[in-house]
Chain A
Amino acid sequence: MTQRVKVDVWSDIACPWCFVGKRRFEQGVAALGDGVEVEVEYHSFELAPDTPVDFEGSEVDFLAGHKGMPAAQVEQMLGQMTQVAAGEGLAYDFDALQHTNTRKAHELLHLAKAHGVQPAMKERLLRAYFEQGRHLGRVDELADLAVEVGLDRDVVVRELEAGTYADAVQADVDQAMRYGIGGVPFYVVDGKYGISGAQSPETFAGAIEKAASEQ
């Protein structure tokens, strides 16, 4: 009999470790075999909610200004992050990356969940942000990406401009605060086990197997 395990993931689109963690999580799930079915639901977390939609400058400029970090230190951080991501088959391009506010992207993820395509939308947005330099703060850009995973463009534009899912995003953010989640990615396995950070595939698989055995 197939056992079903639910994994809730708090993450941001603009989170480099979240995309790395996603790949490692997927590798862990793939190693489980057919006995366990994993349902994943993504929840909103904003790393920098005060980020403007249109920031004129590079990722280095933003972090150096936002955090007061020396540019050389930021460049080192991004360089090492790029190497880590490459180890998971991800081609981060921080030079092309367009730093923006991710609230609308999170609203799109809630819309996608309502239409049964959240996992595909999450993957498409992460690739668009980190590998393709797409602007994820703009409704028209988000709508173009949404069409690629089967959503109706007019519906997406209408719902994002109306802010239909804004409350749902805030509810996730508030829940993270209640849970004490201060950094992402953060995974909750079957409502019982918490996993913080981009852990190894074995760690994810072990937690899921443990949860499944206790059902």
Chain B
Amino acid sequence: MTGPFEMVGDDAPVCVDGVCALPAAQDGETDEARGALGERR
């Protein structure tokens, strides 16, 4: 829950502090390969 809202939807990447999380990893990809940064919400 963020604030007073009922959250809907799936886990989706956002941009945080100038850095953008990458799309969900495909099968076989490691976190390192994704280079995922920032938070996923």
- Hey, which bits of chain A sit against chain B, CB under 8 A? 12, 14-18, 47-48, 51, 62-63, 66-67, 69, 73, 76-77, 80-81, 84, 178-186, 188-189, 192-200, 203, 206-207, 210
Interface residues of B (CB under 8 A from A): 1-23, 35, 37-39, 41
Q: B3 → chain A, closest Cβ, in Å?
A: 3
Task: List chain A residues, Cβ under 8 A from B23.
Answer: 80, 84
Asked whether, in the complex, the Cβ of B2 is within 8 Å of the Cβ of A196, the reply is yes
Using CB atoms, name the residue of chain B closest to A15: B15
Does A194 lie within 8 Å of B6, measured CB to CB?
yes
What number of residue pairs across chains A and B have CB atoms under 8 A from each other? 110
CB nearest neighbor in A for B1: A194
CB of B6 within 8 A of CB of A196, answer no
Most A-side CB within 10 Å, residue of B5, B10, B22 = B5
Contact A63 B7 (CB under 8 A): no
- Contact call A16/B15, Cβ cutoff below 8 A: yes
- Determine if A183 and B3 form an interchain contact, defined as CB atoms under 8 angstroms apart: no
A200 to B10, CA, bound (A): 9
Docked Cα-Cα span, A14 to B4, in Å, equals 27
> In the complex the two chains form, is B19's CB within 8 Å of A67's CB?
yes
Q: Beyond A76-B35, A80-B23, is A184–B6 a contact (Cβ under 8 Å)?
A: no
Asked whether, in the complex, the Cβ of A183 is within 8 Å of the Cβ of B14, the reply is: yes
What residue in chain B is nearest A183 (Cβ atoms)? B14
Chain B: minimal CB distance from A64 (Å): 11
Contact present for A77 and B20 (CB under 8 Å): yes
Q: Which 3 A-B pairs have the closest CB atoms?
A: A197-B12, A194-B5, A183-B14
Seed contacts A12-B15, A17-B21, A51-B18; 15 additional CB < 8 Å A-B pairs: A16-B20, A47-B16, A77-B20, A84-B23, A180-B3, A182-B16, A184-B15, A186-B14, A193-B5, A194-B1, A194-B3, A194-B7, A194-B8, A196-B14, A196-B41
